[in-house]
Amino acid sequence: MFEISVLASGSSGNAVLVRGDETAILIDAGLSARRLTESLAACGVSWDGVQGVLITHEHVDHTRALANVSRNRTLSIYANRMTADALRKKIPEARWNFFSNNSPFAVGGFEVEAFHVPHDAAAPVGFVIRSDGVSFTLATDLGYVPPHIVKAASGASAVMVESNHDADLLQNDPKRPPSVKERIRSKHGHLSNDEAGAFLKQIATPALRHVLLAHLSEDCNSPGLATDTARRHLEQAGCGHVTIACPGSGPLPHRVVL
Ligand SMILES: [Zn+2]
Ligand SMILES: [Zn+2]
């Protein structure tokens, strides 16, 4: 079994549960502890059944529940050292497991590998999670797609990637000052729909079955625009068979089985 359940996605919070036959891991914990516990319960999982929480980066929309849940000393928190340093004051009691980027490590029955993503945090990462010949790549906060991320995601069975904004809607947004628009478009900001689509076109192989579009802007994007753009690029790559979803915009948890 390889099951991905998106518990939350977007600026209000991010958390993804990945389950195998004997392992459940959480990627990020960006909801309140109460909501996260409820979301896990909706998937039939209690904290005792979670072998580890993998942290992409220290921003609060990815770590909101950590201070609370890390008081449970049996829960392992996986992060690279710089991200852990950025979080240490907030969560002094955590039971840390440090990983190095690009060095695979095991969490229960999963093999996990972290890779650097360009984002405005201490040492932000995305993850590849592998088990039984299938793999899931997650890259949810990134300003652009460097070649090593294309390599990390190529051949994946499922990909969760940021598809933050429609370039025209952002350009014409009357509420955001030019400096904010510049930050979003910068190399440490967020991916547009077209950038996410171009990435998908590069990594799509016949093995790819599911695309999850993450971190959609509420006012500079829509699920329809993001999905249509991704679909167009995937069809150009000969991968019209892939299912595409925007989990933050529909009922949660959103579940995908590989
Ligand atoms: Zn962030
Ligand atoms: Zn984020």
Residues 63-85: tens digit of each pLDDT: 999 999 988 778 999 999 999 99
Long-range contacts of 72-81 (CB under 8 A, 24+ apart): 72/47, 74/48, 75/47, 75/50, 76/51, 76/52, 76/107, 77/52, 77/53, 78/52, 78/53, 78/54, 78/105, 78/107, 78/112, 79/54, 79/55, 80/114, 80/123, 80/125, 81/123
What spacing in Å lies between the alpha carbon of 227 and ligand 2's midpoint?
20
The tens digit of pLDDT for each residue in 13-68 reads 999 999 999 999 999 999 999 999 999 999 999 999 999 999 999 999 999 999 99
If one counts every other C-beta atom within 10 angstroms of the C-beta of residue 21, the result is: 10
Strand order from edge to edge, sheet including 24-27: 95-98, 76-79, 52-54, 24-27, 15-19, 3-8, 254-257
Coil, strand, or helix at residue 247? helix
Coil, strand, or helix at residue 153? helix
Distance from the Cα of residue 145 to its chain's centroid: 14
* Average per-residue pLDDT for the chain: 95
For residue 256, the model assigns a pLDDT of 97
Counting ligands in written order, which one lies closest to the CA of residue 162? 2
Counting ligands in written order, which one lies closest to the CA of residue 59? 1
13: β partners? none
Quote the CATH superfamily of domain 3-257: Ribonuclease Z/Hydroxyacylglutathione hydrolase-like (3.60.15.10)
What spacing in Å lies between the alpha carbon of 111 and ligand 2's midpoint?
24
What spacing in Å lies between the alpha carbon of 63 and ligand 2's midpoint?
10
Counting ligands in written order, which one lies closest to the CA of residue 120? 1
Nearest to 175 by CA among 219, 141, 131, 216: 219
For the chain, what are the domain ranges?
3-257
Strand order from edge to edge, sheet including 210-214: 105-107, 110-116, 125-131, 134-139, 158-162, 210-214, 243-245
Say which residue the tokens 């040492």 belong to.
123
What spacing in Å lies between the alpha carbon of 86 and ligand 1's midpoint?
13
What spacing in Å lies between the alpha carbon of 204 and ligand 1's midpoint?
25
What spacing in Å lies between the alpha carbon of 125 and ligand 2's midpoint?
11
pLDDT tens, N- to C-terminus, the chain (258 residues)? 999 999 999 878 999 999 999 999 999 999 999 999 999 999 999 999 999 999 999 999 999 999 999 887 789 999 999 999 999 988 988 899 999 999 999 999 999 999 999 999 999 999 999 999 999 999 999 999 999 999 999 999 999 999 999 999 999 999 999 999 999 999 999 999 999 999 999 999 999 999 999 999 989 999 999 999 999 999 999 999 999 999 988 899 999 999
Counting ligands in written order, which one lies closest to the CA of residue 143? 1
What spacing in Å lies between the alpha carbon of 43 and ligand 2's midpoint?
23
What spacing in Å lies between the alpha carbon of 61 and ligand 2's midpoint?
6
Residues, CB-to-ion distance under 5 Å, ligand 2: 61, 141
Q: Are 226 and 163 in contact (CB under 8 A)?
A: yes
